[in-house]
Chain A
Amino acid sequence: MTALPPSISSRAARKSLSRERLSREQVEQFGAELDALRERTLADIGEQDARYIKRIYAAVRYTGALGRGLLFFGIFPPAWLLGTLLLGISKILENMELGHNVMHGQYDWMNDPRFDGKTYEWDIVGTGDNWRKTHNYSHHTYTNIKGMDDDVGYGVLRLFPEQRWRPFFLGQPLYAVIFALFFQWGVAIQDIRLGRYFAGRMTGAELREEFRPTGRKMRRQLLKDYVFFPLLAGPFFLPVLLGNLVANGLRNLWTFMIIFCGHFTANVEVFPKSIIKNETRGQWYLRQLRGSSNLTGSKLLHIMSGNLSHQIEHHLFPDIPARRYAEMSKEVRAICRRYGIFYNTGSLVSQFSQVIWRILRYSLPSKPVKLDGKMLMAD
């Protein structure tokens, strides 16, 4: 392994390094170091992680109850504002730091049915089961592989020059805004893949059958937020309904922003299908790293993003409790520095600006970039 050049922190040096590819052997050494970090961390998982996730659960319940309680007095604007904000925070915490992480099986070792990854059901219109399939499996296994990871543009956006341009994409700044506002609905129908129906590869009956669990979940969520709680408020039906609508919307915008910052910043890469042929553990790690980007910020940002601000660590270690990522990121960064691998991180403003730039830039035609034959290693 080559020694680290002193100028590594400069932007130009990073750029040249990120283009300099590792040998096959180096990639495996890199993977072995990450495996060791993984084992070291797993050995320490225990009581404090259990206490943490229970506290997060309690925070979800308290903010939720307080928010809904305040919304009953939503006729007074300050109560409405605070109530809506608290309910939004509750939903964000539940979806991200609790639900998303629990469904990865990060807390399965607790043997606690409340935090069981394979049965957890979250507070959004999409079912946990669909999410486990599209996200835990497709997205995390085939991260940023065009044609395998549905999250690359979610079938409606062109975010990489490697995606073929069509006139449809001219409207994508608008689609992106709609998608962000209705993000939970996009997540809900992602696995149904309506495209197959419109392409005639699926009958109406099959579609209805596949949609049934999602339909049930949607009905339950809609009844809860737009019928049950508003009715409970009696004469204040409308402020409660509006508060719930806005809280859901806030959650949608926030999760959209965090998730897009994780995979669609300027230096993130996409890969061809051929890359997974005989992919080793080291190569898998490297692909995860090069397909993800982090956010720097306060502890509050990390918690409110479900620690997806450490998207890189999350993709390297999706089943390790997310509260550990901050600690692990120091070592991951050091390992990357030693191997001369670019570690993609930045502030929320900087990273999200890059996302917006991608959405705008690739709505327009660009010189096509070929993915064929792209490889991670030099040899």
Chain B
Amino acid sequence: MPDTASVKTGALKRLIGPVIGPVIDPVAFDFWAAKVNPLLSWERPLARVVARQVAARDSVTLVLKPNRHVPPVQAGQHVPVTVEVDGVRLTRSYSPSSVGGKRGKGCLAITVKRIPGGRVSSHLCQNVRVGDVLELGEAFGEMTLRPEVPRWLYIAAGSGITPLMSLLRAQAAGQSRADVTLLYWARTRADLCFLDELRHLDSHQPGVRVHIILTREAALLPGEHSGRPDAALLTQLVPDLAERRVYACGTGGFVDSLRTLLADQVAGFDAEAFTLPERAAVAGAPVQVTLRRSGRVLDIPAGEALLPALEARGIHPKHGCRMGICNSCACDRISGTSENLNTGATQTEPGVVRICISAARSDMTLDL
């Protein structure tokens, strides 16, 4: 829900947009608009932090008020959040849940767990304050509400709880009698997010059962369990396993082991795993380079300069000096690790890459 100031400019823009749109400079517009209200923008989806609270050890929940350019988000989806850290804009995805209540109407809440060495999560947990403005992107993700499914098993590990929490909240708010069992894995009790809210759902929301499983806690309290996911634990906690459809979210290893255990035992299995940076491929090993615009996928040896490698495969991207100075061949690296062949430095963060002096060091997607 946009605030009043953006409603006004929204109407103004609809009125004058078609006339001055073609001659407006959106960057200059935003420069002046931000002096009035930091959420005002010609076209950028922005959100202001309106509340901040600690959710668990190393975890912070930020409540965000979006402007009118933020596209709608469904429960369970992820949203790219862009912040500036040390002068560099960095993007990571988080699963927001909508916030209820009068004051929070239209707001989104993201819960961020700080990862040691993680630049964005550290920034969001430690530096971001109420009043700061973040840029959001378009929501993505397939694990959304499906009212036709009668029985659910949600399985979360660590911060994998966030999209599932968003679904649980949406189901609770919708008063639907969804039958959901949640298994929530964490290392210790202090790492659990949303504990009070989950306890409340477990005792007050018909159909919702919550089980907490801790892997590194010395002494367990009543109602807590321990151990890694295995068949015995799962059948003990979820006797009607076969009738439930599974949504799981956690690290790649966690999700893989669940899939092996459960895929044939349940009524359906969907999972999302956190993506970890890929390890750099050794020189010469084939990596897959995807060209987003042309849709072509090519096998190129890791460590080989991209421009000549593409040319050898009949693709002729724009280029100039072929020695890394003129920037003509600069293109966006959407994903993957590249190596600067002049310096040997590798870069994993999405950004601009000069393909004449860069090689792929992992599977990669280029904006070509």
List A residues at the B interface (Cβ < 8 Å).
39, 42, 46-51, 57-58, 61, 103-105, 108-112, 114, 116-118, 132-133, 136-137, 140-141, 220, 223-224, 228, 281, 284, 318-319
Contact = CB atoms under 8 A, between A and B. Distances in A.
A49 B326 contact: no
Interface stretch (B70-78, B84-92, B163-171, B238-246): B84-92
Contact of B321 (A42, A51, A140, A281): A140
B31 A57 contact: yes
11 contacts: A46-B87, A47-B86, A50-B87, A50-B88, A61-B28, A110-B87, A136-B326, A137-B320, A140-B321, A141-B321, A281-B323
Nearest to A39: B343
Given A50-B84, A61-B28, A117 B330 contact: yes
Interface of B: 23, 27-28, 31-32, 84, 86-90, 320-321, 323-328, 330-331, 343, 349-352, 354
A110 B327 contact: no
Contacts of A223: 23
Contacts of B354: 105
B323 A49 contact: no
Determine which residue in A47, A137, A220 has the highest number of CB atoms from chain B within 10 A of its CB, and name it.
A137
Determine which residue in B87, B351, B354 has the highest number of CB atoms from chain A within 10 A of its CB, and name it.
B87
Given A50-B87, A110-B88, 15 more contacts: A46-B87, A46-B88, A50-B84, A51-B87, A105-B327, A105-B352, A108-B351, A111-B90, A111-B349, A112-B84, A117-B330, A118-B330, A137-B320, A141-B325, A141-B326
A220 B327 CA distance: 26
Contacts of A220: 23
A109 B351 contact: yes
Contacts of B326: 132, 136-137, 140-141, 318
B234 to A, nearest CB: 43
Contacts of B330: 105, 108, 117-118
Contacts of B349: 111
A111 B88 contact: yes
Contacts of B84: 50, 112
Contact of A137 (B32, B321, B343, B351): B321
B87 A140 contact: no
Contacts, number: 85
A58 B32 CA distance: 10
Nearest to A284: B323
A319 B353 CA distance: 13
Contact of A48 (B23, B27, B87): B87
A104 B323 CA distance: 14
A47 B323 contact: no
Contacts of A58: 31
Contacts of A228: 23
Nearest to A65: B32
Contacts of A51: 87
A117 B349 CA distance: 18
B144 to A, nearest CB: 29
A47 B85 CA distance: 8
Nearest to B85: A47
A141 B292 CA distance: 29
Given A50-B84, A61-B28, A117 B89 contact: no
A104 B23 contact: no
B328 A136 contact: yes
A235 B349 CA distance: 54
A220 B24 CA distance: 11
Contact of A61 (B32, B90, B328): B32
B320 A136 contact: yes
Nearest 7 CB-CB pairings of A with B: A50-B87, A137-B320, A105-B327, A141-B321, A47-B87, A111-B89, A108-B352
A111 B350 contact: yes
A112 B320 CA distance: 23
Nearest to A48: B87
A161 B88 CA distance: 48
Contact of B87 (A49, A117, A136): A49
Nearest to A279: B323
Nearest to B321: A141
A133 B352 contact: no
A74 to B, nearest CB: 22
B149 to A, nearest CB: 40
Nearest to A281: B323
Nearest to B354: A105
Given A39-B343, A50-B87, A109-B88, A114 B325 contact: no
